[in-house]
C-alpha cells in the first residue's frame, strides 16, 4: 500500500461523511450494546434499514432464557459449509467489522510484511484490493476476473509459518507473503534481509496473491447476506491447517487429539503415513481406500474422481462426533448395525452408554455433498462421482457412520438430494443439515474468463481457490438459501454460512493458539474465516464480535437439541484429562465442553439472534428478505460487477472516492493457471 495515500486517507476520514454519496456506508457510526458483543453496522439501503431493530428494544436475555426461546423457535439448522477463504479476503473492508483498516497499519498485525523481490532484495507488501481490470502498457483495459484466483499454500506447516508464532505462541501474521513465495533461502528474524536464490516473477506473484482481498463488487451475494443478517467477525477455524481437519472439526470440535492421546503410536511425530494423528493434512478417508478391503465393492464409500482409490488413507477415526450424539437414546440400536464394532467403536464405549442413558430423542441429520451419489448432472441411472471430493466429507472418516449401512445410507447424500428434499417437503421434522459443493456446479455455469485453462479449472461451487469461481460458489449459497426461504422450513430455520479454513490467505486478526501437535507446531486455533447467520430470528444488519469457531456451531446444536456436549462425554473427557497429565496440554479434545472440559473463547452463536424477535416484541424477518432473484443467481457477473452500488455500501478502503490500497503493478490473480504479466498485452497466455 502507498503510505502517503494512507496518511492522507486518515486525515480525510473526519470529513468523509460530508463527501460520500447517499450509498456511502463507512462514514456512519455503529450502534452497539454496552458490552460491545454485537453492533449494528453503519446504515446501508432503506430496504435493510426498515428491518433493523434497536439493540436496546428489549432487555438482554440471559443464555438460559434465550436457549428456551431458541428451542421453541428454531427446529432446522442448515450449515452451508464452504471452502478456503479468510475473513479479510471477503470482509476485510466491510464497514463496521474488525477489518483491515479498523486500526492504524502499525497496530494491525502483518499489515506491512516482507516480500522478496525478483532481484533478491526485500521489499514490503500490504493488503490490497484485487481489481476488476488493469491497463496494459499501451493503455488498453484487461479484465482480471478476481472471482477466479489460484489456490495458495494451506498446508499445516505452511500456515504455521505464515502466522509466525513467537516464543510465547503469539501469532505475528507477518510471514504470509514470504512463506508463499516458497524460496530456498532464509529471511532474517526482523524480515529485513534475505539470503538465497531470488524468486521468479511467478513466485513473487504468489507471494502477492495471499495479501489480496475483494469486496462487494466481486462477492455481492455474500455482502448482501452480511448486510441483511448477522456477520461474525471473530470466527476462527479450529485447526491450523487445511480442509480435512477442519471438516472433521465441524462435527467433532477437534481433528483427533483424543484418539492421538489414546493411541500414541499414531502420533504425527511417530507415524509418517496418512494415518497419523491428529489429522493435520488432507488424507483420503479410510473408508473407500485400498485398505478398506473387507467392505464389499458395491457397498464401498465413493472416492475422488479424479484421484481414485487411496493407498495411504487416514486412520479410521474413532472419537465422538455429533453424528454419534444425534443417535440419542437409540444409539445402542443404531451402532449394533456396525460392520466391525471392535474396529469402529473401541474408543467410544462409555460415550455410547452415556448418550443412551440421557434418553434424548434422536436428531435427524444429513450431510449433502455434491457428487456423493447420483446428481442431476449425471446421465440417467448412473453415478459418476465426477464432482466429489472425499476429503471434504467429514462423516466418511468415521467407521461408526461410513462402515454402518444403517447410518451411511440414511444420512450421507448428494447435493441434488438436498434440493429435492426441500422441493417436496421431504425433510424430517427438525434436524441438522450440512450442505457442501464440489468440483462442478448444478447450475451449468462456467467462469467468465475466456481463458480455456480457467474455464476448465474453475467450474467448482464450494469456493475453494484453484477450482471454484467465487460467483458460481455464491450461486450455490443463493440456490440453497432461496430453496429454504421458499419452503415450509423457513419460519423455523437457522442458516449458517461458514468456511472450513483460509486457504492460507492473509487475515490480520491474531488467533489464540491453545494447543500444539506432536511436532510442537501450533494446532488449535487457526485464522479467521467468514461466517454469517441467517434466520427469521436473526439480528438484521448486525456484526457480532462473539469469539467463535467450528466448535461454536456444535455448541449451538448441543443447546438447541439438548445434546450432551462432546467434550463432556466420558471417553473424550478422560482423554482430555490424560492429555493434561502426560502432555501438559489442557485443551486437547472437543471444543464444546463445559466446566472442567471447557475451552476458552468458544461462544455458542446466541449473539446472532434478536431478543426482540424471539420474545415477539419485533416480527420475524420474512422469507422475501432472504431471497435473491433467480435471474441474478444464474447471470454472471452477479449484479453486473456493481454490487457495492447496488447494496449502497462503500468499502472502508474507498475514501473520498479514492481507493487507498491499490494492487502491485505486477499482480496476477492466477500466476499458475495464467502465468505472466497481466499488463503485458499478451495475457492470459493459455
- Spatial separation of the C-alpha atoms in residues 234 and 649, rounded to whole Å: 21
In sequence order, the 6+-apart residues with CB closer than 8 A to the CB of 475 are 221, 441, 443, 445, 461, 633, 634, 638
The pairing of strands 658-659 and 515-516 is unpaired
Residue 1 has pLDDT above 80, yes or no: no
Question: Residue 7: what are its φ and ψ, rounded to 5°?
Answer: -60, -45
Q: Which three cell numbers stand for residue 384?
A: 459418476
**pLDDT band at 306, cuts 50/70/90?**
confident
Residue 31 has pLDDT above 80, yes or no: no
**pLDDT band at 6, cuts 50/70/90?**
very low
Question: Residue 401: what are its φ and ψ, rounded to 5°?
Answer: -110, -60
Q: Do residues 649 and 20 make contact, with C-beta atoms less than 8 angstroms apart? A: no
- Spatial separation of the C-alpha atoms in residues 236 and 510, rounded to whole Å: 10
CA 300 to chain centroid: 29
DSSP letter at 427? S
- Spatial separation of the C-alpha atoms in residues 523 and 255, rounded to whole Å: 9
Q: What is the pTM of this model?
A: 0.94
Q: What angle do CA 107, 159, 211 make, to 5 degrees?
A: 50
Question: Residue 355: what are its φ and ψ, rounded to 5°?
Answer: -60, -45
**For 22-40, what is the mean pLDDT?**
53
Residue 22 has pLDDT above 50, yes or no: no
In sequence order, the 6+-apart residues with CB closer than 8 A to the CB of 329 are 355, 356, 358, 359, 360, 361, 362
Q: Do residues 266 and 259 make contact, with C-beta atoms less than 8 angstroms apart? A: yes
- Spatial separation of the C-alpha atoms in residues 543 and 235, rounded to whole Å: 11
Residues of the chain above pLDDT 70, percent: 94
Of the CA atoms within 13 Å of residue 61, those in its CB half-sphere come to 21
**pLDDT computed for residue 95 by the predictor:** 98
| Bond before 637 cis per omega within 30 degrees | yes
User: In this predicted model, what pLDDT tens digit does every residue of 348-381 receive, in sequence order?
Assistant: 999 999 999 999 999 999 999 999 999 999 999 9
Residue 100 has pLDDT above 70, yes or no: yes
**For 204-230, what is the mean pLDDT?**
99
- Low-confidence winner among 221-235, 305-319, 412-426 (lowest mean pLDDT): 305-319
Residue 193 has pLDDT above 50, yes or no: yes
**pLDDT band at 5, cuts 50/70/90?**
very low
Residue from 34, 551, 523, 611 nearest 249 by CA = 551
- Spatial separation of the C-alpha atoms in residues 648 and 644, rounded to whole Å: 6
Amino acid at each position: 500500500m502507498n503510505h502517503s495515500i494512507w496518511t492522507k486517507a486518515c486525515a480525510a476520514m473526519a470529513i468523509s461523511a460530508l463527501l460520500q454519496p447517499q450509498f456511502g456506508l463507512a462514514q456512519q457510526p455503529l450502534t452497539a450494546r454496552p458490552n460491545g458483543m454485537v453492533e449494528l453496522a453503519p446504515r446501508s439501503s432503506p430496504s435493510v434499514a426498515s428491518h433493523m431493530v434497536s439493540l436496546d428494544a428489549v432487555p438482554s436475555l440471559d443464555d438460559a432464557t434465550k436457549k428456551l426461546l431458541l428451542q421453541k423457535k428454531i427446529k432446522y439448522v442448515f450449515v452451508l459449509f464452504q471452502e478456503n477463504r479468510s475473513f479479510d479476503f471477503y470482509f476485510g473492508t466491510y464497514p463496521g467489522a474488525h477489518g483491515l483498516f479498523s486500526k492504524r497499519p502499525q497496530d494491525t498485525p502483518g499489515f506491512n510484511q516482507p516480500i522478496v523481490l525478483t532481484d533478491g532484495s526485500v521489499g514490503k507488501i500490504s493488503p490490497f484490493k484485487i481489481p476488476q481490470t488493469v491497463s496494459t502498457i499501451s493503455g488498453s483495459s484487461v479484465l482480471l476476473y478476481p472471482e477466479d484466483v489460484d489456490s495458495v499454500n494451506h498446508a499445516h506447516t505452511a500456515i504455521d509459518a505464515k502466522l509466525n508464532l513467537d516464543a510465547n505462541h503469539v501469532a505475528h501474521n507477518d510471514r504470509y507473503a514470504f512463506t508463499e513465495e516458497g524460496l530456498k533461502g532464509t529471511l532474517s528474524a526482523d524480515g529485513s534481509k534475505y539470503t538465497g536464490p531470488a524468486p521468479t516473477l511467478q513466485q513473487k506473484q504468489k507471494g502477492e496473491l495471499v495479501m489480496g482481498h475483494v469486496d462487494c463488487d466481486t462477492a455481492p451475494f455474500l455482502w448482501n447476506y452480511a448486510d441483511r443478517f448477522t456477520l461474525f467477525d471473530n470466527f476462527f477455524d479450529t485447526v491450523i491447517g487445511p480442509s480435512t481437519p477442519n471438516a472433521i472439526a465441524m462435527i467433532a470440535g477437534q481433528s483427533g487429539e483424543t484418539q492421538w492421546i489414546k493411541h500414541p503410536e499414531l502420533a504425527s511425530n511417530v507415524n509418517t503415513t496418512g494415518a497419523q494423528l491428529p489429522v493435520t493434512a488432507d488424507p483420503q478417508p479410510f473408508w473407500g481406500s485400498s485398505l478398506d478391503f473387507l467392505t464389499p465393492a458395491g457397498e464401498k464409500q465413493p472416492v475422488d474422481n479424479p484421484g481414485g482409490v487411496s493407498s495411504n488413507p487416514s486412520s479410521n477415526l474413532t472419537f465422538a462426533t455429533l453424528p454419534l450424539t444425534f443417535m440419542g437414546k437409540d444409539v445402542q440400536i443404531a451402532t449394533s448395525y456396525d460392520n466391525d464394532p471392535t474396529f469402529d467403536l473401541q474408543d467410544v464405549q462409555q460415550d455410547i452408554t452415556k448418550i443412551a442413558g440421557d434418553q434424548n430423542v434422536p436428531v435427524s441429520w444429513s450431510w449433502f455433498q455434491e457428487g456423493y451419489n447420483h446428481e442431476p448432472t449425471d446421465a440417467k441411472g448412473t453415478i459418476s462421482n465426477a464432482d466429489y471430493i472425499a476429503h471434504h466429507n467429514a462423516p466418511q472418516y468415521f467407521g461408526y457412520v461410513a462402515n454402518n449401512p444403517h447410518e451411511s445410507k440414511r444420512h450421507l447424500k448428494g447435493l441434488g438430494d438436498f434440493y429435492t428434499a426441500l422441493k417436496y417437503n421431504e425433510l424430517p421434522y427438525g434436524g441438522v443439515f450440512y450442505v457442501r459443493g464440489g468440483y462442478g456446479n448444478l447450475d451449468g455455469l462456467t467462469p467468465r474468463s475466456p481463458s480455456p485453462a480457467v474455464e476448465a479449472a474453475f467450474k467448482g461451487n464450494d469456493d475453494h481457490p484453484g477450482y471454484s469461481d467465487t460467483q458460481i460458489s455464491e450461486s450455490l449459497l443463493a440456490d440453497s438459501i432461496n430453496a429454504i426461504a421458499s419452503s415450509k422450513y423457513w419460519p423455523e430455520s437457522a442458516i449458517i454460512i461458514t468456511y472450513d479454513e483460509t486457504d492460507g490467505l492473509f487475515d490480520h486478526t491474531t488467533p489464540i493458539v491453545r494447543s500444539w501437535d506432536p511436532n510442537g507446531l501450533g494446532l488449535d486455533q487457526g485464522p479467521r474465516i467468514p461466517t454469517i447467520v441467517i434466520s427469521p430470528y436473526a439480528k438484521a444488519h448486525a456484526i457480532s464480535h462473539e469469539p467463535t469457531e467450528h466448535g461454536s456451531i456444535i455448541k449451538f446444536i448441543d443447546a438447541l437439541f439438548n445434546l450432551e456436549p462432546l467434550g463432556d462425554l466420558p471417553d473424550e473427557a478422560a482423554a482430555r484429562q490424560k492429555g493434561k497429565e502426560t502432555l501438559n496440554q489442557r485443551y486437547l479434545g472437543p471444543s464444546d465442553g463445559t466446566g472442567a472440559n471447557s475451552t476458552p473463547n468458544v461462544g455458542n452463536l446466541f449473539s446472532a439472534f434478536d431478543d426482540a424477535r424471539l420474545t415477539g416484541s419485533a416480527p420475524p424477518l420474512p422469507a422475501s428478505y432472504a431471497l435473491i432473484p433467480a435471474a441474478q443467481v444464474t447471470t454472471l457477473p452477479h449484479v453486473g460487477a456493481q454490487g457495492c452500488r447496488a447494496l449502497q455500501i462503500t468499502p472502508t478502503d474507498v475514501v473520498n472516492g479514492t481507493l487507498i490500497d491499490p494492487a502491485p503493478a505486477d499482480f496476477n490473480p492466477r500466476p499458475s493457471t495464467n502465468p505472466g504479466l497481466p499488463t503485458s498485452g499478451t495475457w492470459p497466455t493459455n
